[in-house]
Structure 1
């Protein structure tokens, strides 16, 4: 009986240690300072590496036809090397991001600029620290012609970032990538 109690205690100890939460990531002072400077000066650029569209039957058909890039799936498409960016400079924002998804409203189709393209002044610009880590959440909206974009960016001290783009004319899409302080001074 004592042996069973010992094994039960050992089992409970192992389970409680295994369920411990992960420690917060440790960032260097230089990484934190770089993030704070870029956000305070509103001067950074995000280089998108992965597009994460909302899967739907049309994208599934494209994937089944073998038209998704090598190493990609319909809900995570490698866009490295496509010069995809989102840039914030003071109150100006600009983006050139590929778009995978469905257009929900009619409008003109421009085969040269079929992606998420905008260049203009940000409206409702806000920045706040993220709740779970040392990152910063940046939010704004911008119009490009008749289309309105709601953009949410999460920047992390490690140099990684996430972008969410909700359009008035298309299904939402997300991007993963890296950010750097804006090099265009």
Structure 2
């Protein structure tokens, strides 16, 4: 009787372990991933940022404590609703106009009123990769303007969501989330 009980428990344990296994990964021929790959491969896409996530530091905390942020925003998550911004890739060119919240370690020049992340031109490098395990594409883009060098990592998902991580030689890092869209013709 005791032996039958152990066999029953062992069988139950094996069945439970197999039933708890993760579901199989989606096929690499997923139509959403293929459509995203075609859009990114044509180098004609735009990301509209909806949230900014600055690196927490004393300056950002002081701004948040002063009450200067919009309602719904806090020191580590800032709502960009109503803020005109974009990260656009058109052929060989990259056009960036993103607001910046954070600390600048090296000055931007005397009388410089351009405090956002702005760039228009051909990047130093553009590398696009498909990540099968995370069901996303990543792009690493390096740009240099007259003041600083930026390393931008894009994480692009079939759902149309996108993350932008910006690392600068002169500023603290910042991350944005937003929506992937076709390029708007102006």
Q: TM-score range by the shorter chain?
A: 0.7 to 0.9
Q: What are the ranges of 5 or more consecutive residues in structure 1 without an aligned counterpart?
A: none
State the distance in 1 between where 2:26 and 2:98 align.
29
User: 1: distance between equivalents of 2:137 and 2:36?
Assistant: 8
For residue 169 of structure 2, what is the aligned residue in structure 1?
A: 168
Instruction: Say whether the 8 Å CA contact 1:137–1:152 is kept in structure 2.
Output: yes
Partner of 1:106: 107
More displaced 10-residue stretch of structure 1: 165-174 or 102-111: 102-111
Aligned length: 182
User: 1:147–1:169: 8 Å Cα contact kept in structure 2?
Assistant: yes
Deviation at 1:181, TM superposition (A): 2.4
Q: Deviations over 1:162-182 (max 9, x none)?
A: 001111110010000010122
Contact 1:139 1:153 in 2 (8 A): yes
The separation in 2 between residues aligned to 1:137 and 1:72, in whole angstroms, is 28
Distance 2:153 2:87 in 1: 11
More displaced 10-residue stretch of structure 1: 100-109 or 44-53: 100-109
Tell me which residue corresponds to 1:137: 138
Matched, 1:64 2:72: no
- Displacement of 1:28 in angstroms is 9.8
Q: TM-score under structure 1 normalisation?
A: 0.83
- Post-superposition Cα deviations, 1:24-48, rounded to whole Å, max 9, x if no partner, equal 6799955334311211111100000
Shift of 1:81: 1.8
Task: State the Cα RMSD in Å.
Answer: 3.1
Structural mapping, 1:1-185, within 5 Å: 21=22, 31-108=32-109, 110-111=112-113, 113-184=114-185
Please tell me whether Structure 1 or Structure 2 has the larger radius of gyration of its CA atoms: 2
Could you tell me whether the CA contact under 8 Å between 2:160 and 2:179 is conserved in 1? yes
Write out per-residue CA displacement over residues 138-183 of structure 1, whole angstroms, 9 at most, x where no aligned residue.
1111112121111111111100000011111100100000101223
